[in-house]
Amino acid sequence: MTACLAFDTATEHLSIALQVRGRIWSHDGPGGALASSTLIPGIMDLLAQAGIDLRDLDAIAFGRGPGAFTGLRTACSVAQGLAFGVDKPVLPIDTLLTVAEDARTRFATGVADDSVNDVWVTMDARMDEIYAAHGVFESGRWRYAAAPFLCGPQALNERWRIEPPRAIAGSALAVFGERLDSGDALRLPNALPRARSMLPLADALWTQGGAVDAALALPLYLRDKVAQTMAERAAVKALAAAGAATREVPT
C-alpha cells in the first residue's frame, strides 16, 4: 500500500495514524466517551498534514476489538462511513495483536532475548474480567497461539501455571496487579493499541488479501451483552409485578 489510514478506539486511549509512501503522521489522546466526537476531526487533521484526502488512500484500517462496546462501534461505523464515501476497502485489525506489535516494536531494544516475539496480551475488560490472547511473531508476521478469549484472572493464572508466559503486555497488568501471577515473565503494562503499531499489521493483511468491503467490516465482541435494554428491563419488571400479584391472590 502507498497510503493507509488506521485508528483504534477500543480502550480509553484513542489512536490515529496515517502512512503515505513510508512517512507516518500520528495522533494519540484520550478516548472513551470523547472518541465519538474527536476521531473524525483527528483523522481530517492528519490528512491535512499529509496533504492528501480520503480518495488517495488504498484502504482504511480500524481496530475491531475486543474492547469497549461503544469504542468498537465508533471505530467500525467511522471506518465504514469513510470507506463507503470514497469506495475504499476496509482492513479489520485485531486490537490485541496491535498491543502485541506495540510491545514488540517499542520495547524490543531494551530486551536482551526474543521474548517480545512471544507475547501474552491482557487487556482490562471491566467487570473483573480480562481480554487475553497469546501471539507469536515469526516469519515477519503475527499468528495466534491462543485466539482472543474472555476470562477472569484466576482462570488465566491456571493456564499460565501449565504454560508459563515469556512476556505479558497490556492494561490488565496494572489493573489486576498481584492478582495476575506472571512468574518470571517480562511485564509490559505500557503497551497499548497504538495506531502506529496497526500499520504493519494492516500492510500484512493487505498483502494476504484480507481487505473487505465496508459492509462486511464487523467488530469483534467477546462479551455478548453487558446490560439489558430498556425494553428488556421493562419486561423483567412486568414479569416480576405479575408474579407478585399472583402470589397475593388468596387461595
Model pLDDT, residue 240: 46
Could you tell me the CA-to-CA distances from 12 to 68, 147, 173 in Å, in that order? 9, 23, 16
Contact 2, 57 (CB under 8 A): no
Angle between helices 35-50 and 69-86 (to 10 degrees): 40
Please state, in angstroms and rounded to a whole number, the distance separating the CA atoms of residues 151 and 190: 21
**Domain 96-188 CATH assignment equals 3.30.420.40:** yes
| Ranges of each domain in the chain | 3-95+194-216, 96-188
Homologous superfamily (CATH) of 3-95+194-216 is ATPase, nucleotide binding domain (3.30.420.40)
Same topology between domain 3-95+194-216 and domain 96-188: yes
Phi/psi of residue 129, nearest 5 degrees: -130, 170
pLDDT digits over 179-213, tens only?
Answer: 999 999 999 999 999 999 999 999 999 999 999 99
In our burial notation (b when 16+ CB lie closer than 10 A, e otherwise), range 130-156 reads bbbbbbebeeebbeeeeebbbbebeeb
Residues in the chain: 251
Asked if the model's pLDDT at residue 251 lies above 80, the reply is no
Peptide bond into 66 cis (omega under 30): yes
pLDDT the model gives residue 180: 97
